[in-house]
Amino acid sequence: MSTDNQGPIWEVFVQSKPGKPYKHVGSLHAYDKEMAIENARDLYTRRNEGTGIWLVKAEEIVSVKSGDEESYFEPADDKIYRHPTFYNMPEGSKHI
Amino acid sequence: MENSKNLEVFQAKIDAEIKIEPKDWMPDEYRQHLIRQMSQHAHSEVIGMQPEGNWITRSPSLRARKILMAKVQDEGGHGLYLYCATETLGVTREQLIQWLHEGKAKYASVFNYPSPTWADMGAIGWLVDGAAIVNQVSLQRTSYGPYSRAMVRICKEESFHQRQGYEIMATLMEGTAEQKKMAQEAFERWWWPSLMMFGPHDGDSPRSSNAMKWKIKRETNDDLRQQFIDKTIPQAELIGLKIPDANYKLLENGSYETSDIDWDEFWNVIKGNGPCNTQRIKQHAAAHDNGQWVREAAIAYNEKKEQQLKSA
């Protein structure tokens, strides 16, 4: 490990209000969890942007490989019966 | 064959205003252009802390000091957003800092001018941040996702910077003759450098064409500069500042015509011959080197804690 090492990259997720989903806001460098939380507070919530912070080491995140999107997401395209608008409702029916 | 198909998909996304994300295929030239532009942008934020940091301990009131500290802290934060966004292109932070210290990476030349009086804090916030805002508002629509998102975040924070600067200038312009003179002189020091921030004329800008085609840049240097001029001249006149340009005039379309920039000065400062180039890099390198024991201690502490977890 070089002495100029800035620590691993962490991805930062902030919850804007209680009850809202956590949203990715950016990333930062930190050597451990404690420092990651402190850095995230100072970097991403200086103006009351959040009521909660999640941090995940970037190397721990798994995602669909770029280029594989088609094979992953296309099968949903021909299953329109999963959407409510697919169904014919009798004329005059209400609250459905 | 593979490459030309990739390029086609890439350009189609750009044309459809779909952002390019870190794991997407991109031409190497696009990646290199972004690394250069985004790291230069990040370095500018961080080097920009120096002319203002210079006044924190000498600010005229507690209110002014708190504001200036918050602003300088923001600039550091903006640098960090941008470094992280640049790292998504596959370059490390350590490398970016090394290129800055070796002179291989640039930062905005405007920060090579000194800030000798308190009025310079007003002029920097109002003009330098004002010019940066015009540029950054445009860059919110840049084609690279992480860069665009960093710009959105930065723009939200930046408008306080410009307003606090204009407030300093307006306050001085309501003061004594000496204070007015101080404001006018600072205005004259920063007017031309802030116009230079938009870069050379479009015809003389070597990297404009692909940058526009790939929507890294959304508007030309001259268009952005004109937007800034048209906003700023009325603000200056409102508080009684005189534009340091004998030839400026209001045109019928509401836009202003101004003299041309002294391009010899522009290129000279870019080449490293500005009043503060050497000092800025020296100070940055010293701060980085002096922080080495902190990085070493943090690594050692983390290793110790992980060791304790394993043996527990």
Q: Please report the pLDDT score of residue B207 as a whole number.
A: 62
d(CA B136, CA B148): 9
Q: Give me B9's structure tokens.
A: 């998909």
Give the residue carrying structure tokens 């956590």: A22
Percent of chain A with pLDDT over 90: 71
d(CA B110, CA B127): 11
What number is the average pLDDT over the span B49-65? Answer: 95
Q: Which of B94, B150, B299 sits opposite A31 (nearest CB)?
A: B299
Residue A37 lies in a domain: yes
What number is the average pLDDT over the span B280-297? Answer: 94
Q: Does A66 touch chain B (CB under 8 A)?
A: yes
DSSP 8-class letter at B20: B
Q: Kindly report, residue by residue over B167-213, the tens digit of the pLDDT.
A: 999 999 999 999 999 999 999 999 999 999 999 998 777 666 689 99
Residue B207 lies in a domain: yes
> Are A66 and B23 an interchain contact pair (Cβ–Cβ within 8 Å)?
yes
Distances, alpha carbon B300 to alpha carbons A1, A3, B282, in Å: 11, 11, 28
Q: Quick one: which H or E segment has residue B165?
A: helix B145-173
Q: Quick one: which H or E segment has residue A69?
A: helix A69-73
CATH code, domain carrying B216: 1.20.1260.10
Cβ–Cβ < 8 Å for B61, B245: no
d(CA B241, CA B187): 8
CATH code, domain carrying A29: 3.10.20.520
Residue B103 lies in a domain: yes
pLDDT averaged over chain B? Answer: 94
DSSP 8-class letter at A80: G
Q: Does A2 touch chain B (CB under 8 A)?
A: yes
Identify the domain containing residue A20 by its residue range.
9-86
Q: Please report the pLDDT score of residue A69 as a whole number.
A: 81
> Is the pLDDT reported for residue A3 higher than 70?
no
Residue A52 lies in a domain: yes
> Are B93 and A6 an interchain contact pair (Cβ–Cβ within 8 Å)?
yes
> Is the pLDDT reported for residue B289 higher than 60?
yes
d(CA B118, CA B59): 7
Residue A92 lies in a domain: no
Of the pLDDT bands very low, low, confident and very high (cuts 50, 70, 90), residue B159 is: confident
Q: Provide, as residue numbers in chain A, all residues whose Cβ is less than 8 Å from the Cβ of B97.
A: 4
Q: Kindly report, residue by residue over A23-82, the tens digit of the pLDDT.
A: 999 999 999 999 999 999 999 999 989 999 999 999 999 988 877 888 888 888 889 999
> Is the pLDDT reported for residue B130 higher than 90?
yes
Q: Which of B74, B84, B299 sits opposite A26 (nearest CB)?
A: B84
Cβ–Cβ < 8 Å for B45, B280: no
Residue in chain A lying closest to B71 (CA)? A46
Residue B184 lies in a domain: yes
Residue A91 lies in a domain: no
Residue A81 lies in a domain: yes
Distances, alpha carbon B186 to alpha carbons A56, B190, B279, B295, in Å: 46, 6, 21, 39
Q: Please report the pLDDT score of residue B206 as a whole number.
A: 66
> Is the pLDDT reported for residue B141 higher than 90?
yes
Q: Hey, which bits of chain B come out as E strands? A: 249-250, 256-257
Residue B287 lies in a domain: no
- The two counts, helices (H) then strands (E), for chain B are 14, 2
Cβ–Cβ < 8 Å for B68, B59: yes
Percent of chain B with pLDDT over 70: 98
What number is the average pLDDT over the span B67-84? Answer: 96
Q: Which of A5, A43, A46 sits opposite B295 (nearest CB)?
A: A5
Cβ–Cβ < 8 Å for B24, B39: no
d(CA B303, CA B305): 5
Q: Please report the pLDDT score of residue B149 as a whole number.
A: 96
State the Cα torsion B52-B58-B63-B64 to the nearest 10°: -30
Q: Please report the pLDDT score of residue B148 as a whole number.
A: 97
d(CA B202, CA B38): 20
> Is the pLDDT reported for residue A1 higher than 60?
no
Residue B284 lies in a domain: no
Q: What is the number of domains present in chain B?
A: 1
> Is the pLDDT reported for residue A2 higher than 90?
no
Residue in chain B lying closest to A68 (CA)? B24
Q: Please report the pLDDT score of residue A74 as a whole number.
A: 87
Residue B183 lies in a domain: yes
Q: Provide, as residue numbers in chain A, all residues whose Cβ is less than 8 Å from the Cβ of B85.
A: 26
State the Cα torsion B259-B135-B106-B258 to the nearest 10°: 0
Residue A1 lies in a domain: no
Residue A41 lies in a domain: yes
> Are A28 and B80 an interchain contact pair (Cβ–Cβ within 8 Å)?
yes
Q: Does B73 touch chain A (CB under 8 A)?
A: yes
Q: What is the number of domains present in chain A?
A: 1
Identify the domain containing residue B21 by its residue range.
2-275
Residue in chain B lying closest to A24 (CA)? B149
Of the pLDDT bands very low, low, confident and very high (cuts 50, 70, 90), residue B64 is: very high
